[in-house]
Amino acid sequence: MTIDSIQLDGSPLPLETVEAVARHGASVQIADSAILRIEQARAHVDRLASSDQPYYGLNTGFGSLSQVRIEPDNVREVQKNIIRSHAAGVGDPLPVEVVRGMLLILAASLCRGHSGVRTELVHRIVDLLNKGVTPIVPSRGSVGASGDLAPLAHAALVLLGEGDAMYQDESMSGGKALKKAGLEPINPVAKEGLALLNGTHLMTSIGTLALCDIARLQDAALTGAAMAVDACRASDGPFDARLHKARNQVGQQDVARLMRERLAGSQIVNDHKENDPRVQDPYSLRAI
């Protein structure tokens, strides 16, 4: 089934949905329910940011500078600078499909309404996907489970009109790509720089696309194996459910079931039931 468009409503993304956007250009929209949650969370952040009390990442510095209060006039610049300072990746650029997957998963995460960003920020991320503007993101720089900080920072730079991007198969500055696509840069406010960098959206994108490929490879491998059994006039006995139930290994049981399904109706597998001098099939077939 071809997926032409998806809607982000804060719920988990199926693997095929990520692939449809990352690889096949499916369009993305944001559900009204998600917009409501985003706006409610943002209103709460605005109340905190205007308070005299210190709130980490809203009116304070980050990390070792968490005790330093940020004046209201400087909040936007601090949010920009945290993005700039973390855009320190190196190495070859990531594939376009991986970066698109990362942007989608980031937008989906923000649509849960727990990050305190503005709706216009999420819309702009979705605009990048729908307009075909893909940030150029170096492949080295993630700090693993602590977050894909550098890769996300390189992507976020393009939202600011900085960094570099691919647009219509051409590499150019982020600002030029936005202009060509008819988009305006975002000027991040309190909390947004932090929200853009926190997460494991890159490794999730890589893992998602790998799982999609693995599923296709497994399907092709099982189909090829079933054809080999048929071509060799082999038996379907080694795939009997009772044998694999005794082994009590779920994956093995699944493979045996899928082999039985592919061999169902075969007019060859029973050819050697009578008067066949072979004792058993080759090990490569029995061990599938």
Sequence-separated (6 or more) residues with CB below 8 Å from residue 204: 101, 102, 105
Single out the catalytic residue among 55, 56, 167, 283: 56
User: What residue type is 121 in one-letter code?
Assistant: L
- Does the global pTM surpass 0.75? yes
Q: Return the closest-CA partner of residue 114 out of 39, 56, 57.
A: 39
Asked whether the predicted pLDDT for residue 272 surpasses 80, the reply is: no
| For residue 274, pLDDT beyond 80 | no
Q: Kindly report the backbone phi and psi dihedral angles of residue 157, in degrees, each rounded to the nearest multiple of 5, phi listed first.
A: -55, -40
pLDDT tens digits for range 23-74: 999 999 999 999 999 999 999 998 888 788 888 878 888 778 888 888 888 8
Query: Tens of pLDDT along 257-268?
Result: 999 999 999 988
283 noted as active-site residue: no
Answer with the residue of higher pLDDT: 279 or 218: 218
- Kindly state the tokens that stand for 80: 């920009």
- The two three-digit tokens of residue 263, written as one number: 């061999």
DSSP conformation class of 67: T
- What is the distance between the alpha carbons of residues 36 and 34, in angstroms, rounded to a whole number? 5
Report the C-alpha gap between 275 and 59 in whole angstroms.
85
Structural tokens at position 109: 């995460």
